[in-house]
Amino acid sequence: MKIVKPFTIHALELGQMQNFIYLIQEHSSKQVAVVDPAWEIPKVVALVEHQGYKISDVLLTHSHHDHTNGLTELLKTCDAQVHLLEAEAQFWDRGKSFCEQNFCLDHQLDKPKLHQDGDTIQLGKIQIDVLHTPGHTPGSACYCLYEHLITGDTLFVSGCGRCDLNGGDPEQMYYSLKRLAALPPRTVIHPGHNYGNKPSSTIAEELKSNPYMQFDNVTDFVRQRM
């Protein structure tokens, strides 16, 4: 008997940096979580409305501008709860300034919901697991549901995020990649940018072909990544 998944993940490639903005659609509730809203927000909203869904949540993998520059615009169109790791909120100018700088001040909003590693986010009838995967930024997060992993700028197809930007740490990236490598091999990865030879991959494929997944010691990884 064919098993029907309770959700669909849509990827929209938008902006000048080949960003993927993801829509996690939970079928029974018609709720949508938007991951990393940026660039062409009207296209995001139009797709959600065309399919008869409602945006209830926003998940941020990290705080870099190319992943968050559409947040204020999106929140003007919907009453959505924003989620990110507490470590990233602290990095993103200490929490309070994060709200002041990145939310429209004339829009009545609660503060974002701050998470720790291992937390879960409820979207309709499904749970999304929050993984703390520092390295690209101190509070970078991956979001896992039913052997699908949205990786932001932690893991790309055949690559990984830079560690030489503000907040980057190659040693932390090494251990974050090792953690992801231990996930079930058939886990599908959905990266934050379309930088590979295809838009998505699996953990098994990355363990075979991704050069940054081949290192056995942190010293060699740091030397190569930097």
Cβ-contact 21, 36 below 8 angstroms = yes
Domain count, the chain: 1
Amino acid at 87: A
pLDDT at residue 104 is higher than 90: no
- Burial class (CB within 10 angstroms; exposed 0-12, middle 13-18, buried 19+) of 63: buried
pLDDT for the residue 166: 84
107-156 pLDDT, tens digit each: 334 579 999 999 999 999 999 999 999 999 999 999 999 999 999 999 99
* 2 belongs to a structural domain: no
CATH number for the domain spanning 69: value is: 3.60.15.10
Whether pTM > 0.85 for this model: the answer is yes
pLDDT in tens, 174-202: 999 999 999 999 999 999 999 999 999 99
Residue 1 maps to a domain: no
